[in-house]
Amino acid sequence: MRIAILGTGRVAQTLAAGLLRAGHDVVFGSRDPESRTELPAPVLASADAVVGADVVLNAVPGVDTIPLLASIGPDNLDGAVLWDIANATNPDFSLAIPDDSLGRRIQEALPGAKVVKAGNNVAAVVVAEPSTLPAPTTLFLSGDD
């Protein structure tokens, strides 16, 4: 499966490592792909990374999500499964959109996308390598599709 990860930070890299170990074809989407040569998968401009992806994984900070997705364009994400792992917090960890949901706002901005909210309530390393847990567990998913 081809997975485009939007973002190149710690969460994106941790998830990419797990997805690569599982045999997926991973690309990163970045605002500045030329500066990210050390990553374990190709780095493209975000709009280019989502082309042909089976799943688009949003791993950018929550406050940056809607502007990034708007720059990619709703038409480029029509029909895409968009896995959102971001939390809508400011840099000081206060809520960026109190009384609302980042997932709901993404779905509103991208009505043709299949938004799935998952993995934002556990450490990225657990999502990438669930066998590190001592027992089977449940990962909560939320979405209309």
pTM above 0.75, yes or no: yes
pLDDT of residue 21: 94
Report CA 117 to chain centroid distance, whole Å.
Answer: 9
pLDDT of residue 136: 86
Q: What is the pLDDT of residues 41-55, one digit of tens each?
A: 999 999 999 999 999
pLDDT of residue 76: 94
pLDDT of residue 98: 87
Examine the pLDDT at 139 and tell me if it is beyond 90.
Answer: no
How far apart (Å, rounded) are the C-alpha atoms in residues 123 and 43?
23
